Amino acid sequence: MRRIRKRQVAAVLALAAIVGAFAVPAAAVRAGSTGLPTKIGKGEGRLNVIEWPAYTDASFAKKFEQQTGCIIHRKDAGSSNQMFALMHANGGGGGGQYDLVSASGDASLRLIYAHDVQAVNVHLIPSWKQFLPVFKSPPHNTVGGVHYGVSLQWGPNTLIYNTKKVKPAPKNWAAIYSKKYKGKLTVPNNPIQIADAALYLMHTKPSLGIKDPYELTQAQLTAVGQLLVRQKPLLKRYWNYATDEDTSFKNGDVWMGAGWPYQTLQLQANHVPVKEIVPLPTTGWADTWMLAAKAPHPNCAYKWMAYVTTPQVEAKQAIVFGETPVNPKACPYMNKIQKGSCAGYHLNEPASYYNKIKFWKTPVPTCGWKKGNGCMDYNAWQQAWTQITG
């Protein structure tokens, strides 16, 4: 117990150092004196979650409700910012109403720094030990060694192409910035797409000095914006929903574009001649079930985190939603539901593969790689994206 506390205090101090101006001085005392639960108590009969639609899909949540008696009440969110706003409303910390939030990497850090989520004892989640190493303590949900939730599912951003039209096959992300397939390309309509271009420039234009695609200075953001403005005339469209991208591939308007494994599998199921590559390094997204700071039903929340990360449930959710589990033991169960889906969703790759995926994280004013507040925040990204697409 003492050891845990000591580690915690150190962690919170480290967190405070990183957060700088945003940290509340009292935070260290508060978290230090709370301590983590050492066992999961009796369920409270109810669980209130803020989720991506279908993240507590009845196909696997029904069994949980029967087993634990924790009845799930859902609030679907449409964007990371909406999730954050919901958690931060009514005094923050989930407002004493919400227990869990399935935050993506572009919101999770903000939730931690704003004290809306609390530390989680990952040793109460048995499957945590089975996770892929990169998802045990990733920087988007673990700060200074303190976990603020458990990783859940993830996906790489992939390059999808029509095998009949695009010859030879593309090898890297340069394909979506090249004039060769002008008017036949598509990319997502999302400010976080700036990070993809930043990652590309990080390797093709080292003089810009980009160290982290999510931590850009004003000059770097401007340079990335210029690349995206040059890319725009090459595009058929920006896609808004995964089904939009599918449609454009299906009817031949688009031959190549950035997407997710989900689209590739959907298109292949419809006999559209497409393949995908994951040109490394690439960006990707990863979601975390995070525990609200004022969670009224913490036991049910812990029970859910333990349940949803088991291999069988991970496999089911992956197939329902079209994403990849963090628990590699889910592989055989995925193949049982849909043949070849484990490899299709890249769950059987070596560790070197996962290390080359730069997972989404919120752009914040503090840069990790240089001193002070020299980086552009998410609002600046949003404005830059409107400027590019407008």
Partner 1 sequence: MAADAGALAAGPPWRRARLRFSGLLWRRPWLKALGLLAPPLTAFLVVYVGAVAVLFISSFWTVNSFTAAIEHTWTLGNYRLIFSSGQPYLHIARLTLEIAAAVTVTDAVLAFPLAFFMARFAGKRTRAILFVMVLLPLWSSYLVRIYAWQTILAHDGAINWALRGIGLPGLNLAYTNTAMWIVFSYVWLPFMVLPVYAALERIPDSYLEASADLGARGFKTLRSVILPLALPGIVAGSIFTFSLTLGDYITPLLVGGPSSQFIGNTVYNYIQEANTPFAAAFATIPMAIMGVYLLIARRLGAFEAL
> Residues 201-240: x/- map of binding to partner 1 (CB under 8 A)?
-------------------------------xx-xxxx-x
Per CB under 8 A, which region of 151-159, 167-175, 243-251, 326-334 contacts partner 1?
Answer: 243-251
Q: Closer to partner 1 at the Cβ: 250 or 329?
A: 250
Q: Closer to partner 1 at the Cβ: 220 or 341?
A: 220
Q: How far is CA 362 from CA 36, 109, 116, in A?
A: 26, 6, 15
Q: Is 386 in the site for partner 1 (CB under 8 A)?
A: yes
For partner 1, the binding residue among 71, 244, 349, 374 (CB under 8 A) is: 244
Q: Closer to partner 1 at the Cβ: 257 or 261?
A: 257
Q: Closer to partner 1 at the Cβ: 96 or 252?
A: 252
By the 10 Å C-beta count (0-12 exposed, 13-18 middle, 19+ buried), 321 is classed as middle
> Residues 93-132: x/- map of binding to partner 1 (CB under 8 A)?
-----------------x--xx------------------
> Residues 4-23: x/- map of binding to partner 1 (CB under 8 A)?
------------------x-
Write out the E strands in the chain: 46-51, 71-76, 100-104, 142-143, 146-147, 149-156, 158-162, 185-188, 235-239, 256-259, 274-277, 282-291, 324-325, 357-359
Subset of 278-317 contacting partner 1 (CB under 8 A): none
Q: How far is CA 11 from CA 16, 75, 120, 262, 326, in A?
A: 9, 31, 13, 37, 24
Q: Closer to partner 1 at the Cβ: 58 or 219?
A: 219
**Cβ pair 191, 384 in contact under 8 A:** yes
Q: Is 164 in the site for partner 1 (CB under 8 A)?
A: no
Kindly report the number of other CB atoms within 10 A of residue 164's CB atom: 11
Q: How far is CA 159 from CA 164, 361, 388, in A?
A: 15, 21, 21
**Cβ pair 176, 231 in contact under 8 A:** yes
* Interaction site with partner 1 (CB under 8 A): 22, 78-79, 81-82, 84-85, 88, 110, 113-114, 183, 191, 232-233, 235-238, 240, 244, 247-248, 251-253, 364-365, 377-380, 382-383, 386-387, 389-390
